Amino acid sequence: MDEKKEKVIATKKDTSLGTVRIADEVVSIIAGLAATEITGIAGMSGGLVGGIAEILGRKNFAKGVKVEVGEREAAVDLYIIVKYGVRIPDVALAVQENVKQAIETMTGLSVVEVNVHVQGVGFPDEEPKDDEIRVR
């Protein structure tokens, strides 16, 4: 097996029937989906690569997620955008708990830390009032 593929492997478990391997990308997707389930999250803040994938029509569920995975443990960094008006510490704690629970349940890895980085605030689209005229 070449070195590039070895870096992609998050966890490897040998069983009597064979080997189970979970890629880092899978852990990232689980974390991203678990984070966006929380009320108060407007979205994930991704970099250039995530934006290009979405432009090309691919939904990037790992957008805004960075994972470091060992054989038994994982650390997660999430870059989120919260909705305007929510209490940020409460939303961040709910994200941490949901992501930790989802990864541990689905992969068997022990999550040692979930770092939440609030990158912005999402504002609702404002609808014009009846007496306002929107100029474009």
- Do the domain assignments include residue 87? yes
Identify residue 41 by its one-letter amino acid code: I
Domain membership of residue 131 (yes or no) is no
135, pLDDT greater than 70: no
| 111 within domain boundaries | yes
Residue 88's pLDDT is what?
Answer: 97
Domain ranges, residue 30: 3-122
Three-state secondary structure readout of 4-73 = HHHHHEEEEEEECCEEEEEEHHHHHHHHHHHHHCCCCEEEECCCHHHHHHHHCCCCCCCCCEEEEECCCE
β-partners of residue 80 are 44, 118
Residue 100: predicted pLDDT: 98
Tell me the CATH number at 101.
Answer: 3.30.70.1350
Q: Is residue 93 part of a domain?
A: yes
Q: What confidence tens digit (pLDDT) does each residue in 62-120 have?
A: 889 999 998 889 999 999 999 999 999 999 999 999 999 999 999 999 999 999 999 99
Contact 40, 6 (CB under 8 A): no
- Residue 11 belongs to a domain: yes
In a domain, 129, yes or no: no
Query: How would residue 30 be classed by pLDDT, with cut points 50, 70 and 90?
Result: very high
Q: Is residue 31 part of a domain?
A: yes
CA atoms within 13 A on the CB side of 16: 0
Domain count, the chain: 1
83 belongs to a structural domain: yes
